[in-house]
Amino acid sequence: MSEGVEAVKAFIHEFALNNRSMKISLRKAMSATFRNNAESIADADVVAYSASLDNAQRFDLICEDLAPGSADAYVYYRALSGFSHAGVRLLELYFEPDPAGGPTPAVRSKPWEPFGDNYLLFLTCASLVWAGRPITYLAENKVYRNYLRRAGNQISVNSELKLSPKYYQRHAEAKAKSRNVGH
């Protein structure tokens, strides 16, 4: 999360990095169709956006820029994202270590549930409150803002995510450093 132009530059920088990586991969591909279309990938120049003071690549740093948020937001992200890709965390839902100590896992008789219903309900509600809150600044009707504040209070979360002191400190230090380089 960031303010103004820095947020846009960081966001577009990440987009351009992904496009550049795709273009490089296409150029190396065995398929002639892929190689022939590598140059059709647009917006792969990262130079124009590389001077951003913010980083859209490191989600842990994005979380540190939030108040409330910080490490707690990153824990939510890590806990949930562990189940979004095929890997050991996902396999643990359906397999367990072989009771006989062998190398092949045993199938669980009942899939493991990593999160209780209350945890998932809380995260769903909190996410809806946080995602809806920016829209209230665009809406003329303040009823939505009050509704989200009440919903946030009911689940004990601040309905409004703001930039943290860490964010402002990092930007102040970067601006001071750039002024000193110019002299």
pLDDT digits (tens, 9 = 90+) for 86-107: 888 888 889 988 888 888 888 9
pLDDT digits (tens, 9 = 90+) for 60-84: 888 888 888 788 888 888 888 887 8
Query: Does residue 154 lie in a domain region?
Result: no
Q: Which amino acid is at 33?
A: T
Residue 33 lies in a domain: yes
Q: Exposure of 116 by Cβ count < 10 A (0-12 exposed, 13-18 middle, 19+ buried)?
A: exposed
pTM: 0.60
Query: Amino acid identity, residue 105?
Result: P
**DSSP label at residue 105:** P
Instruction: Establish if 51 belongs to a structural domain.
Output: yes
Task: Note whether residue 101 is domain-resident.
Answer: no
The whole-number pLDDT of residue 133 equals: 87
Residue 8 in any domain: the answer is: yes
Into how many domains does the chain fold? 1
Residue 118 predicted with pLDDT over 60? yes
Task: Write out pLDDT tens, residues 153-170.
Answer: 999 998 888 888 888 888
pLDDT on residue 82: 80
Which residue pairs from 133-137 have beta carbons closer than 8 angstroms and sit at least 24 positions apart in sequence?
A: 133/159, 133/160, 133/161
Residue 143 within any structural domain of the chain = no
Q: How far apart are CA 121 and CA 22, in angstroms?
A: 37
Rounded distance, CA 60 to CA 75, Å?
9
DSSP 65-84: TEES-HHHHHHHHHHHHTTS
Q: Would 11 be classed as within a structural domain?
A: yes
Residue 2: give the domain boundaries. 1-56
Is residue 158 one of the residues assigned to a domain? no
- Residue 89: its pLDDT value, please? 82
pLDDT surpassing 80 at residue 40 = yes
Q: How far is Cα 128 from Cα 149, in angstroms, rounded to an integer?
A: 12
Mean pLDDT across the chain = 84
